[in-house]
Amino acid sequence: MAEKETIEILLENAIDWITQHLYLTFGVLVVLHLGVAWWLKRRPLAVWNSEPLKVSEVCVDLCLDLEIYIYPIKSLRGSRVSSAVATKYGLKYDRTFMLLKRTPTGLQNLAVCNHYIMTQFLTSLTAPTPTTPGTLTITFISPSGPTVLPLTIPLEPRVTSLETLDIEMHHSATTAYLMPETYSAWFTTCFGFDVVLAYLGENRRDVLFEELKGSGEKITFADCAPYLLVSATSLDAVSALLNDEDGSDTDAGEERGKEKGKDRKQMDITKFRPNIVISGAASPWEEDFWSRLLIRHSTPPSQPIHLRLEHNCVRCRSINVDYATGKKAQGKEGEVLKLLQATRRVDEGMKWSPAFGRYGFWGGGKEEDARISVGDEVLVTKVNAERTKFSWKLH
């Protein structure tokens, strides 16, 4: 009984104190509320989501089409693969070849943003086996170009007898190897002007983001980073723009798409040239704030892969191309860059260019190469409070 009376007295005293100190009590509650909100904001996004994200792409008609891409020759169409070896330099075989144009003043880098015809080359990888070397087959499909048989080249050419040449991309230079004239002649026929094919071999380029200078980060013929990751949810937002929707409500856009059926336009994810497409994000553009990813292989004991997402990928006019013709697309498909510029100029480092996707770097220290496969789980383990700023001086 005495214990009960003591508790009642304590409660009465507490109520009296709170009544006499309402402002102080209110202030304490506000501080607690803000503290909890801050803690929730700093929590990894993966903790918020009950389901991990997936390495995938959601396609028209609601079929799941899981995709990973390798682009063996820079600016040509990529190869869709079910799995790939991830390394600190990117996916194995990604952007290890490059095309250059011969001009009176020297060799000039070829890029799809200036030569839409590069979208008319399909690439297909055949991985090496213990007894056979790997090969790369290129097929030219332009409806207005010459008819040529597909070209097959070694996936990993022997370089001991090849001449070398110097190549610079975005102020980052490297040495490469000049492939045999037979291969260059095939590309010359397709392009209609003199072209050479270069192979990177074991050489690499320096990464020139201000924050990463001197870090030892190296890349292939990829523009700025070893990996490019995009979100299928954000792709839906771009498709909404092609269908006179604002892109903010992807679920509503999906319902309208069901009603319109085949009339609904779908943005081709390959025009953004990603290595990894991730599905499952709750809303468009949340990847702008992703900082660290953990990719967990679906079939252990393969080790997990850690990636650091350091910068946004800003876009150029190559996303306006029509893959069927190799020319600028008609209608809104030919104005995708302009449509994105209205709402996606979100990077202070590149104020005039819209952002789509995130550049990724190896994040596991001395992690060994590991395999990434369709269906792997992707966990967002760290998010940024603000968007990152693009700091590579490209021009």
Domain ranges of the chain: 44-69+224-383, 94-203
CA pair distance 75, 180, nearest whole angstrom: 20
What is the structure's pLDDT at 6? 47
What is the structure's pLDDT at 377? 86
- Please provide the DSSP assignment of 48-71 as one string: H-SS-EEE-EE-GGG-EE--EEE-
Give tens-digit pLDDT for 270-292.
999 999 999 888 899 999 999 99
Residue 331, classed as helix, strand or coil, is helix
Structure tokens at 175: 């040495």
Flag whether pLDDT at 115 surpasses 70: yes
What is the structure's pLDDT at 250? 45
CA–chain centroid gap for 58, Å, is: 15
Contact between residue 154 and residue 162 where contact means Cβ atoms under 8 Å apart: no
CA pair distance 273, 223, nearest whole angstrom: 11
Mean pLDDT, all residues of the chain: 85
Cross-strand partners of 307: 293, 362
Structure tokens at 170: 């975005």
CA pair distance 201, 164, nearest whole angstrom: 11
Picking from 254, 279, 252, 251, the residue whose alpha carbon sits closest to that of residue 264 is 254
Phi first, then psi: what are they for 334, rounded to 5°?
A: -90, 5
Phi first, then psi: what are they for 248, rounded to 5°?
A: -85, -25
Q: How many residues does the chain have?
A: 395
The domain 44-69+224-383 is classified under which CATH number: 2.40.33, 1.10.3470, 3.40.50, 2.40.50? 2.40.33
Question: Which range (79-88, 158-167, 255-264) has the least confidence?
Answer: 255-264
Contact between residue 384 and residue 291 where contact means Cβ atoms under 8 Å apart: yes
Question: Which range (57-71, 156-170, 300-314, 356-370) has the least confidence?
Answer: 57-71
What is the structure's pLDDT at 300? 66
Contact between residue 208 and residue 172 where contact means Cβ atoms under 8 Å apart: yes
HEC sequence for 188-231? HHHHCCCEEEEECCCCCEECCCHHHCCCCCEECCCCCCCEEEEE
Amino acid making up residue 194: D
What is the structure's pLDDT at 280? 86
Helix, strand, coil: what percent of the chain each, to 5?
Answer: 30, 30, 40
CA pair distance 320, 394, nearest whole angstrom: 21
What is the structure's pLDDT at 368? 83
pTM of the model: 0.82
Q: What percentage of the chain exceeds 90 in pLDDT?
A: 67
Flag whether pLDDT at 185 surpasses 50: yes
Flag whether pLDDT at 60 surpasses 50: no
- Average pLDDT estimate for 352-377: 88
Count other C-beta atoms under 10 Å from residue 50's C-beta: 6
Contact between residue 178 and residue 198 where contact means Cβ atoms under 8 Å apart: yes
CA pair distance 16, 20, nearest whole angstrom: 6
Q: What percentage of the chain exceeds 70 in pLDDT?
A: 77
